[in-house]
Amino acid sequence: MSAHAGRDSVVELLLEAPERLEPGLSVLDTRLRLDEQVEVDALLRDLLGAPVIVLLVRGDVALELARIAAIVAALQRGRFLLQRLFGDRGLDSGARPRFVLLAARFPDNTPALLDMLGGLEVVAFEYRVVSGGGRATLDLSVFHRTHGPALSGGAAAALQQSASPAPAARPAPPAAKPAAKATGRAAPRQPAADELQLLDDEPAAPDDARRWFLRARESIRALSSHVTESQRGGRVHYKVNDDLLATLTLDQKGFRLQCGKAGSELTVADEEALNRGLNSVFELYFNQLGPDRPLA
């Protein structure tokens, strides 16, 4: 193990098969320096273009909180340069970043510390390097996952498929059930491999509208296994039992979202509009339609 335990070796083993972290990840760069003081071990993008930052934890987890905050700030400052460097490889440098932390072993207070990063989605993996047949491999186990914001990176639900647990790894502590308005997220359902396609008859629509449309579809699908999806008349409908939760429309005019049966149709052309529309959908689900709604 010692021959493969260095930072570069661990990251290299991980990036040999990044899909073990999450389906659809693509490696963009390693040992990337964002400014004079901030460096990330690896920069990846998810299947919708959002940046995914890999960090190897080498010390106190509490210190990593400051490191993550510095990286977020550096990503924001350098977003135009990053877009020029990696935009042609599918990176959306303006999307909310997500983080993957790697450590041989995390201390027991790690979940409480990471949950302080309420606005970010962070997944902590414990790893061990296994040598067999003359080749080293990386064995991964999810230690903790923050709930993150309701509108975190597009492939968040796919993280449930990540890495098989190591035989000797400690089980992850049970996560507290998130408050509806704080996270907008229930136990996610896994999308099938082909679920991120557009409508059956793919419409001619602006690229930005397609991106917001796909992010909305993934976010609503990940909301709960009680939400069902159907397509009719060029629109995508989401229901909880027989109650209409949301309707998504994508056409030449762009992407529009309607909450519930009586809600007005909202044109989604930026992150703010997407957040506003999806938060309305989440509130409708948790407050009126879902099985977790208040009964009083």
Architecture field, domain 2-176 = 3-Layer(aba) Sandwich (3.40)
CA distance 104 to 176: 24
- The answer to whether the Cα torsion of 162, 111, 55, 53 is positive or negative is positive
pLDDT digits (tens, 9 = 90+) for 22-64: 888 999 999 999 888 889 999 999 988 999 999 999 778 888 8
DSSP string, 191-257: PPTTTT---SS-----HHHHHHHHHHHHHHHTT-TTEEEEEETTEEEEEETTEEEEEEEEETTEEEE
Q: Report the chain's mean pLDDT, rounded to a whole number.
A: 77
- Element housing 265 (H / E): strand 265-268
CA distance 191 to 11: 28
pLDDT digits (tens, 9 = 90+) for 104-142: 999 999 999 888 887 788 999 999 888 877 778 888 999
- Which value, in Å, is the radius of gyration of the alpha carbons in the chain? 20
pLDDT digits (tens, 9 = 90+) for 58-80: 778 888 888 898 999 899 888 88
Please count the other Cβ atoms lying within 10 Å of the Cβ belonging to residue 265.
Answer: 12
Domain spans, the chain: 2-176, 207-289
Average pLDDT over residues 207-224: 81
